[in-house]
Amino acid sequence: MPKRNDIKKILIIGSGPIIIGQACEFDYSGTQACKALKEEGYEVVLINSNPATIMTDPETADRTYIEPITPEMVSMVVERERPDALLPTLGGQTGLNTAIKVAEMGTLDKCGVEMIGASVDVIKKAEDRNLFRKAMQNIGLRIPKSDIARGMEEARELAGQVGYPVIVRPSFTLGGTGGGVAYNREDLEKWVAWGLDASLIGEVMLEESIIGWKEFELEVMRDKNDNVVVICSIENLDAMGVHTGDSITVAPAQTLSDREYQKMRDASIAIMREIGVETGGSNVQFAVNPKNGELVVIEMNPRVSRSSALASKATGFPIAKIAAKLAVGYTLDEIPNDITRETFASFEPTLDYCVVKIPRWTFEKFPETEDYLTTAMKSVGETMAIGRTFKEALQKGLRSLEIGRFGLGGDGKGRSEREGIDPPLDEIIQKISTPNSERIFYLRHALKEEIEINTIYELTGIDPWFLHQLKEITEMEAEIAGAHFPLDRGLLQRSKELGFSDVQLAHLLKRKDDNIRQLREQQGLKCVYKLVDTCAAEFEAYTPYYYSTYEKENEARVTKRKKVMILGGGPNRIGQGIEFDYCCVHASFALREEGYESIMVNSNPETVSTDYDTSDKLYFEPLTKEDVLNIIEQEKPEGVIVQFGGQTPLNLANPLSEAGVRILGTSPDSIDLAEDRERFKAILDKLGLVQPDNGTAMSVEEALKVAEVVGYPVVVRPSYVLGGRAMKIVYDQKTLEGFAKEAILASPGHPVLIDKFLEDAIEMDVDAISDGRETIICGVMEHIEEAGIHSGDSACVLPPHTLDKDVLRQIKDSTRALAKALNVVGLMNIQYAVKDREVFVLEVNPRASRTIPFVSKATGVPFAKMATKVMLGRTLKELGLTQEIVPHHISVKESVFPFDRFPGVDTLLGPEMKSTGEVMGIDTSFGAAFAKSQLAAGQNLPVQGTVFLSVRDRDKEHVCPVAEQFIKMGFNIVATAGTSRFLQERNISNQPVKKVSEGRPHIVDHIKNGEIQLVINTALGGGPARDGYNIRRAVLEYHVPYVTTVAGAWAMASGVGAMLGEKLSIKSIQEYHGGQGD
C-alpha cells in the first residue's frame, strides 16, 4: 500500500538540549526522519530549541522553529502552521511528554491534527506503571512486583507480599536519591523511615529486587499491517541495578540460547501488539533470572531511543528513517533496504561481528559526588566499537573512550600502572562490588589477582561468559609481557585479534608504539576492513560502512577519486559534544559539494556523523593514532581535517603530521603556537595586544612563584584540554598548592597555565573564518555572566548588547590580526575580556569552536561548510562571504546543566565547564530572546511573586537597581540580613529572611514552601559557604529559577519584563534568514 495522501504537512518535535539521558541520538533520528519525510514529498515542520543540531539546519525541514519546547510554544506552532499530523516519537521523552500535553490542551483536536506513530492512549499505556502492569498481565507476562506504601504499617504488609529482598524507593524525590535494598524486616524499618522522609509526598515504592538478574533489550518495529520485526538484541554486561545507559552493552545478545531468545522475541512482539504501537520502533527491556531463565519485563518505550540509535549503528538498519516511513503508511515490505538495495526492510538484521557500547562518564567534573552507578543514569556519552570478537570490540571501545586508556590494561596509562603498584585487594573487591565508572578496569585487577571467576560473579552479577572473555584478555596481556621483542608473527596476530593496541604492546614490551607499527609492517600484518551490511554477507552491500579487524579478507573498496578524511570527536563528554559533530557533518556535506569523496572516522554511535549516508564512507573506529593511520594507509586521502572534531582529533594533529599525513587548513604548528604560552606571547607583543599577566609552571613550586608575580586571584588550568578541565579561579596560596597538583595531573607533560583573573570583566567569544588572506568575523558574542565562568557554561548574546562600537572594533581588528599572524585557514575562536574598556586576549583556538552552530543559526551562514571549502583552497570571496553578517534579531544561547543527576554537587558556576548542552532563544528584543532561552533551558521565569536576594559585599551596590526593577514589575523582595540592610539604607523595600545557619524558618524553608519565585545569589569565589550551597540545592530540587551573578540578574529582569509585556511570538528560522513573512 502506498503512503498516505490525506496528510501533507507533518510536525516533528525535537528533544531540545543535550542532557544526561537525552543526547545527540535524537538529532540523528530526527534528522533521518525529516529527510525521509521530505523525500516522500511531505512538508515538514520542526520545533527544537537546540541550535547545535543538524535537524535545525534550514535545509533539513521546511519550517524550523528554534523555540522552547513547551506545550504552549508547540501549540503556537500548531496554530500557526496547521500541520495535518504530529509525529511525537522522534524527540525522546521530551517530544513524547510535550506531545501528550499539547493533546491534553485540546490544540490538536481544535486544529484537526492527527497524532501518528503512537497515539496518546498508546503512550499512556506504555508509560503509566499500572496500565503497563495490567497490559503485561493480559498477555501472560509480568513486571517486577511493586506497590506504594504510605506508612510503616502498610510497608510491612506490602514487603510480605512482594517478598524479600525488597527495594525501597521514595516516590517523588528530586535529584536522584535512589533507593535502598531491604533484606529483612530490620532493614525495611530503616529504609522505609528514610524513604518516607525523603519523599515529597510521603510515599515509598516497594519493589521486588531483581538486582543481579541479566538485562536485555530488544529493538522492535511494527507497521500498520501488524508486521513486526526485531532489529537487534542487546545484552548488558552489567547486571540489573545499573541503568542501561550506564551499562556496558553488547549486541547481539551473547548468553541466550535460541529457545530463550525466541521467547523474548515472542514477548516483545506481543508487547508491541498489546500496547498498540501503530507504527514505528519501540524498545523493550527484559530481565532474566540467571538461575532459571525466568523472564520479567522492565519497561517499553514506544518511541525511538538511545538504544534504537545504537541498534541502528550496530546493525546498519536505520530505525528512525524506517519509523518515519511507516508512520505515513508504508509497510515494511515496501521500504527498500538501502544497504543491500535488493532486499526490503521486512527482515531482521543479522550480525557477523560483535558490538560493544561503553558509556563515558564525567565524574571528574563533579568531585563532590561519589563515583557509583545506580538506576539513575549519569553518563554523558558513549562510544561503540565493532570487532569480530567480543575481546577485540571491548578493547577498541575502551581506547575510544577518550579517557587516556588504550585497552583494558597493560597500556601503562591506568593509575596503578602509572604509579607501578597494583591496587590492594580490598580496594579491588570494593570497586568491583559497587558499580562505578572504573569497574571494568578493576575487573582486570581482580582477574590478575586470580580471584575465582565464580567469586567475581557473586560479587558483581556479571555473567561468567563476560568474565571469561576478560580473563582471556588478561592472560594474553601476561603472555605478551612474558615474550620478547620482536614478537613472532603468531603471537602478534593473536594479540591483535584480541584487540590489543600498539600502545599496549609497546608498554608491555617496553618499546615505543612506533616500534610495534614497524614490526607489524615488517611482518606484513595489516588490519582488514569489513562491512556492516545488515545481512552477514548474504547479500551484496552497497553502503561503505566499515570496521577494522585482523583477518584474511579486506573488503575496503578504495576508489581513485580525490578524497578527504574527517576525524570526528569521539564520545560526547562535558566540553565536547554535539557542536563538534555538527561541524564534522557540515564538513562532509561541503566535501561532497566540492566533488570530493568524504571519509568519516568516528566512534560515537549517537551522532549524525556516524549515519551511514552522511559521508561517502564511514569508518566506525577509535580515534587513536594507530587506528587512524591504518585507515589513511588504506585510503590515502589527499588530506585530513582535524579542526572540527574538537580536542580529540586536534590531539592527533601532530602525531599524524609527523607520520607524513597532510593536515588540511591551519597547520599543526599554528595550532601548537596558540597553545604554547611563550610563542603566543611573542605574537601578542608583536601585534600590540595584551593578555592578563600570566606565566606557566611545570611544578607546584613554579606555580606559586608565578602567582606571586601576577597577583591573586589567578586562573589556573592545564594546557591541551577542552572544556576547562581542571580549571579554577584561585584566591590564595593554600588553594593554589592543592590545585596546581591536580592541573599537572590533568595534562601530564604539558605546562600549567596561570593567569591573573580579571574580576568583573565582560567576556566575549569571537568566531572568525579565514582563507589565509581574508578574515571575516562570523559572530561576536557577549557573555551574560562576567568573566570567570567557562564560556561553555555562560549564556551569551549575539550581537553584543552592552559594548560600544570602539571596543567592538578593537575586538574585531585584533581577531583579524591574530588570524593573519597564526596563518589560520578555516575557523578560529578567540575569547576576550573587556575590563574598563580595555580589551584582553584570554585564549585563541585556531579550530572550530563550540559556538559555531549557534553563530550559524543566528546568522544563517553555514560557516563550518565554508571553512571546509576554504581548506580545500577556495577563497572566501569565491564563496560569496565578503563581510560580517550582523543579524537584526537577537540570539541568546543558554547552557543546560546536569546538576540534578549528581546529589550533593554545588551548582555554582566557575571556569571548569559543567554544562551538557545548550539552547537558543531568538527574538527581536534582548528580553524576549533571553526569556525564550530560559524557557527552553527549563527555567520557569516568574511573572509575579517574591525575589530572594543574597549577594556578597562587592555586588551589593550593583544589585540595587536590579531590585528596584523587580519592585517596579510588581515583585516583592526578601533578602538575607546584610543585603537587606544595604537595600533598606537605599530605601529599597524588602523583608529580611534568615539564613539556614540563623534558625527557622529560614530561606530554604521558604523555597520549599513555594514562597520564593526567583533567587539571586552571588558567591563566586572562595569555598562554597554552606548557606549558599543549601539554597542552591533547594532551588535545583524545587525548580526555582536562580542566578548567581549580577549580570545574570539583569538579564533575568529583562526576560521577566518581556514575559510581562506582549505574549511571546514565534518565527521560523527560514523566515528569519529568508526575509519571508516579516
Contact residues toward other proteins (CB under 8 A) are 225-227, 229-230, 252-262, 265-266, 290-293, 331-333, 342-344, 346-354, 388-390, 463-465, 468, 530, 535-540, 551-553, 555
Helix (H) or strand (E) holding 563: strand 563-567
Query: What's the length of the chain?
Result: 1078
Instruction: Provide the minimum distance between the beta carbon of 728 and other proteins in the complex, in angstroms, as a whole number.
Output: 47
Helix (H, G, I), strand (E, B) or coil at 669: helix
Question: At what angle are helices 129-138 and 258-275 packed, to 10 degrees?
Answer: 120
- Nearest Cα neighbor of 46 from 79, 14, 94, 80 is 14
How is residue 128 written as a grid cell?
A: 503509566
* Complex with other proteins: residue 225 or 875, whichever CB lies closer: 225
Measured from the CB atom, the residue of 309 and 332 that comes closer to other proteins is 332
Residue 516: CB minimum distance to other proteins, A? 22
Q: How far apart are CA 50 and CA 577, in angstroms?
A: 12
Q: Which residues pair with 181 in a beta bridge?
A: 167
The answer to whether the beta carbons of residues 505 and 495 sit under 8 Å apart is: yes
Find the shortest distance in angstroms from Cβ 387 to other proteins: 9
Question: What residues contact residue 632 under an 8 Å CB cut-off, 6+ apart?
Answer: 565, 640, 656, 661
- List % helix, strand, coil for the chain (3-state, nearest 5): 40, 20, 40
To other proteins, the closest distance from the beta carbon of 508 in angstroms equals: 22
Complex with other proteins: residue 225 or 802, whichever CB lies closer? 225
Of 232 and 752, nearer to other proteins (C-beta) is 232
Q: How far is the CB of 573 from other proteins (least distance, A)?
A: 30
Contacts of 39 (CB under 8 A, 6+ apart): none
Nearer to other proteins by Cβ, of 183 and 344: the residue is: 344
Amino acid in position 603: S
What is the per-residue DSSP string for 930-953?
A: HHHHHHHTT----SSSEEEEE--H
Give the containing element (helix H, strand E) for 382: strand 381-387
CB 296 → other proteins: shortest distance, Å? 15
To other proteins, the closest distance from the beta carbon of 28 in angstroms equals 24
CB of 289 to other proteins, least distance (A): 8
Nearest distance, CB of residue 257 and other proteins, angstroms: 5
Q: Would you tell me the crossing angle of helices 852-859 and 578-593 to the nearest 10 degrees? A: 60
**Nearer residue to other proteins within complex by CB, 262 or 699:** 262
Neighbours of 459 (CB within 10 A): 17
CB of 362: closest distance to other proteins in angstroms?
Answer: 32
* Separation between Cα atoms, residue 441 and residue 152, nearest integer Å: 41
Neighbours of 925 (CB within 10 A): 16
Q: What are the residues whose beta carbons fall under 8 Å from the beta carbon of 449, sequence distance 6 or more?
A: 422, 425, 428
Q: How many whole angstroms separate alpha carbon 305 and alpha carbon 282?
A: 8
Residue entry with cell 553488547: 250
Asked if residue 932 lies in contact with residue 67, where contact means CB atoms within 8 angstroms, the answer is yes
- The three cell numbers of residue 138 are 493480559
| Minimal distance, residue 252 CB to other proteins, in Å | 5
Nearer to other proteins, 453 or 704 (CB): 453
Min CB(229)–other proteins separation in Å: 6
Beta bridge partner(s), residue 843: 831
Q: Give the largest CA-CA distance in the chain.
A: 86
Q: Closest distance between other proteins and the C-beta of residue 346, in Å?
A: 5
Nearest to 913 by CA among 610, 661, 575: 575
Count the helices and strands in the chain (H runs, E runs). Answer: 37, 38
Report residue 455 as a C-alpha cell.
567469586
CB-CB contact of 181 with 211 (8 Å): yes
Nearest to 740 by CA among 731, 749, 753: 753
Q: Quick one: 34 or 228, whose CB is closer to other proteins?
A: 228
Nearer to other proteins, 466 or 644 (CB): 466
Note the Cα 488 to chain centre separation in Å. Answer: 43
Please report how close the Cβ of residue 233 comes to other proteins at its closest, in angstroms. Answer: 8
Complex with other proteins: residue 247 or 534, whichever CB lies closer: 534
Minimum separation from the CB atom of position 530 to other proteins (A): 6
For 374, other C-beta atoms within 10 Å of its C-beta total: 16
Q: Which of 740, 650, 726, 757 is nearest to 696 (CA)?
A: 740
- CB nearer other proteins, residue 230 or residue 778: 230
Distance CA 412, CA 194 (A): 44
| CB closer to other proteins, 217 vs 675 | 217
CB 1058 within 8 A of CB 925: yes
Shortest gap between Cβ of 389 and other proteins (angstroms)?
A: 5
Cα 201 to Cα 205, 230, 523: the distances in Å are 12, 40, 69
The single-letter code of the amino acid at 6 is D
